Structure 1
């Protein structure tokens, strides 16, 4: 591994990695080295308009009539998506927005969100992708912090807009039946219908975009990206078999990094992207079958809800075309990994990364059979290292350490001015993990989730994975609560499986049989559901308020 103290070796190493990435992108179909004119044009557009807009432009030139997007309103071709993006970009500029200013978008997964993303790049606007799970105070604080100058939003969020200045331009991206358009607001469809469908003049510099972190421990932070190298796509296609000119159903919210990155790569490969505004497990199966989808992108919670339908319901949809399931966004339990492969076959891929570091590792089906729950190995352009509390490199297997990642997607620092710890070019993910004897990475838990109980360090994920193996446990989260004797005691919050009536003492005995005594929860609390954010992550602070 080259050191940053050896600049020449580092440059040579990086050049070699970039060359391998270019070859891999060609093999996957993201670029075509036999048509250097098209490849160079796409690269230039990427530097000016950003990846989302430039990818749509590229496919619209070579396959204009190919389906680009399907939602509740029907299908848009790449030509239609390209021209409507131009029209919206010109309309936004005509409203007085200028290149470099920030526009926010608060929308569920549908064409309005995709058009907003693409149009912002063409207009040179920085787009802040807002979380659909925001409460009004959070929404107002984030919009002010990000310096938002216009808001594109679905009509269901009209009440949140009351928290913003009334002078702020508002564009409705989706109008639900029965909803009225607020006074002074514009409707995206009308702007497109009256806008100029030709590409606006290129901005002096790309606007970029800001994706918010999940905000499981507080107010979501903004992670900006101004320029993203075209090589970044290799982090996904290196270890995940994306279809080419096929169909991808993205159930993960596109406003977050998992859905966003898979949409960009899927679009670069000329796929039809299927979106639904709300997730429903059986409707997802119906859409997969109806569109003969090759790939599903989801968070583990969604996958669990699909499996809860049972094998008979799943088989009813005959998903013979489904070759890839990619999950990310929260921990994939070993039990869920094994059960998914038993039902769907060798199609599951587990993506590990973050908004800040990009894709750190991907587990392929053979990895998940060998070590269910693993996050696999780093793809091309990513490197993973473990460090101890004294910032010393850990290379031994089965020895836990803090997970750090060196990535081709540089993190620019949070929009509030903070940054993450970096060691020799590697950035922390905030997780604790270890490598097994096969060199596969396993995540043991969040560094800030560690619970000190009776002087012992406990990571909840180990207990959660164990309890998830029980047939009577549908979901579980383990937290620490204050205790006068131990300082902190363990509490397991359990959602039982339908029809099951587990006993709290039996659950404790099960943990005691399989793990150390200090890892046995002192409390077992049964609830109807775990509080989760829009990206599927458990809100542990809400559990502590129970």
Structure 2
């Protein structure tokens, strides 16, 4: 089978091919908006023409700071078709955080939502960057020449989406095609910033060829196919949403149904009304669907494929998805931004215990190993840092050579910062982040391992463990747990149960019950917030 990076060459090549191959098939459903692949191709070319009219050159950075919508898809693909490098911006960022990313990448054009979750992003950005030495729409961001609001109205110094598109009518279709054809496979396609949960975010640079090859492989292993209807809850600013969502659908001719915010009620309604067949996302998404009291009122019978991933994926969750929702394929995977979003995946033939207990094996033509503190290779069953090597590894952090050298060894191995253990068949189980580990009286305690054990308690739906200071042992664990609805278990009950289930040094000395765990928009638990709360 011909590889996607060879067949299409670039993301603009993929968009054009998808528009031709699947012309009359539904491409995007966003509320009342329904767009075929042919129409999507036309809209993307219009957006590319408008980008060119706005002065976007090959290699220019163009950012999108907006939730999952059809306009996000068109704006992002239009920018990339015009030869730009896409900079997706986290919708949970405040104005100062977004301004940091825009200035760090010297972004020239920004697409921004008008308001989202009760926040005016335009006002937030103006507060953060409205003053400075520059002369553009935001003087504090001197490189930013144009801000386009994805709405019907905009402040005087910005442009509306409609006006922006109208300005592109002076650019010929032939000029757009020439610009798209000039994009090379090895050109950067995007700069995706790390979540910043442990420090200042860094921008990982990935090429067109890498993106196409990784997500062609992802689609093949997952079994995504033409005619699938894919509810994309994972945010587009994250690799899981943009690449395992938009790019994967373009590769296979699947229909994209973007959902801007995760609401279980909205998800259930979408799954039933749109006959959703594919629903990737974090385990909490699937758990909330399974536990929703009105689940039985919705027809979920079209669901056939779930892809999830996290340090802890309870076996019970995999079994319930298969038995209660009759989902034929449930897969787990592991990835990180610096490896293009995908490192390992389970295979569809794997048994449930491998799918729930591991994140699968290295994707084809890549390598994964586990090493000890001195960099020595560890045998199966030994816990250590996970290293990755292959075509999926980023080109580097954007204009940060020192940070890149820290992350990637001279012989091409990416240090993930994740702790894991591999079985004899190469299946990887992520046990923790190196930075999350704490030491109890000389013993290394890995929160994810403790969380996995505690998640077995029938009255616990979610749990997160952090290390807190202890005068005698140096550090001990504190657990933040979410009780199952109707449960009356106390903190002492859970600690006593834990003493029966795990070594004493692993047992949390404190338990605090919470209604939900703090997470970033990509679903990661914010341990930094929990540590601050514990202090």
TM-score bracket for this pair, using the shorter chain length: 0.7 to 0.9
Quick one: which of 384, 389, 397 aligns to 2:368? 384
Distance 1:335 1:216, change over 3 A: farther
Aligned residue for 1:326? 307
Which residue of 2 is the match for residue 159 of structure 1? Answer: 123
3-state secondary structure, aligned to 1:537: coil
RMSD, aligned CA: 2.2
1:10 match: none
Q: Which runs of 5+ in 2 are unaligned?
A: 116-120, 131-137
- 2:460 corresponds in structure 1 to 473
- Does structure 2 conserve the Cα–Cα contact (< 8 Å) formed by 1:400 and 1:432? yes
In 1, the alpha carbon distance for the partners of 2:272 and 2:384 equals 43
Residue 48 of structure 2 aligns with which residue?
Answer: 89
Structure 2 matches for 1:349-368, cutoff 5 A? 349-358=331-340, 359-364=342-347, 367=350
Q: Aligned in 2, Cα 1:423/1:305: closer, same or farther, shift over 3 Å?
A: farther
> Secondary structure of the equivalent of 1:65?
coil
Q: Secondary structure at the match of 1:298?
A: coil
In the alignment, the residues of structure 2 paired with residue 461 and residue 80 of structure 1 have an alpha-carbon distance, to the nearest angstrom, of: 46
Aligned to 1:259: 241
1:441-495 CA-to-partner distances (Å, cap 9, x unmatched) read 2111111111112111000011111222223222210001122222212100112
Measured in 1, the distance between the counterparts of 2:427 and 2:514 equals 34
2:101 alignment partner, SS class: helix
Shift of residue 366 of structure 1? 5.0
Q: Which has the higher contact order (CA 8 A, sep 6+)?
A: 1
| Whole-angstrom distance in 2 between the partners of 1:355 and 1:525 | 32
Q: Which of residues 181, 206, 228 in structure 1 aligns to 2:154? A: 181
Change (3 A) 1:344 1:408: farther
Work out which of the residue numbers 73, 84, 88 in structure 2 matches 1:125.
84
Contact 1:480 1:490 in 2 (8 A): yes
How many angstroms apart in 2 are the aligned matches of 1:110 and 1:339? 31
Matches within 5 A, 1:121-520: 121-156=80-115, 157-162=121-126, 163-165=128-130, 166-167=138-139, 168=144, 169-174=146-151, 181-193=154-166, 195-196=168-169, 198=173, 200=176, 201-202=178-179, 205=183, 206=187, 208-229=189-210, 230-262=212-244, 263-310=246-293, 313-328=294-309, 331-345=312-326, 346-358=328-340, 359-364=342-347, 367=350, 369-371=352-354, 372-395=356-379, 397-417=380-400, 418-419=403-404, 420-422=407-409, 424-520=411-507
Moved over 4 A (4+): 203-207
Q: Which runs of 5+ in 1 are unaligned?
A: 1-21, 32-38
SS in structure 2 of the partner of residue 223 of structure 1:
strand
Quote the Cα distance in structure 2 between the aligned partners of 1:318 and 1:457. 47
Measure, in 2, the Cα distance between the counterparts of 1:57 and 1:281: 34
Once residues 368 and 108 of structure 1 are traced to their aligned partners in structure 2, the CA distance between those partners, rounded to angstroms, is 36
Structure 1 residues 394 and 380, CA, compared in 2 at 3 Å: closer, same or farther?
A: same
Q: Provide Cα deviations, 1:133-180, integer angstroms capped at 9, x if missing partner.
A: 1123222222211211221111111222212352542111246xxxx5
| Closer, same or farther: CA 423–207 of 1 in aligned 2, 3 Å | closer
Counterparts in 2 of 1:112 and 1:330: CA distance versus 1, 3 Å? farther
Does the residue aligned with 2:261 lie in a helix, a strand or coil?
coil
Matching of residue 107 in structure 1 with residue 66 in structure 2: yes
Q: CA deviation at 1:352?
A: 0.6
Q: Report the TM-score, using the length of structure 2 for normalisation.
A: 0.87
Q: How many residues align?
A: 498
Partner SS for 1:109: coil
Could you list the per-position Cα deviations for residues 277-322 of structure 1 after superposition, in whole angstroms to 9, with x for gaps in the alignment? 1111122122122222221121222122212215xx3343232222
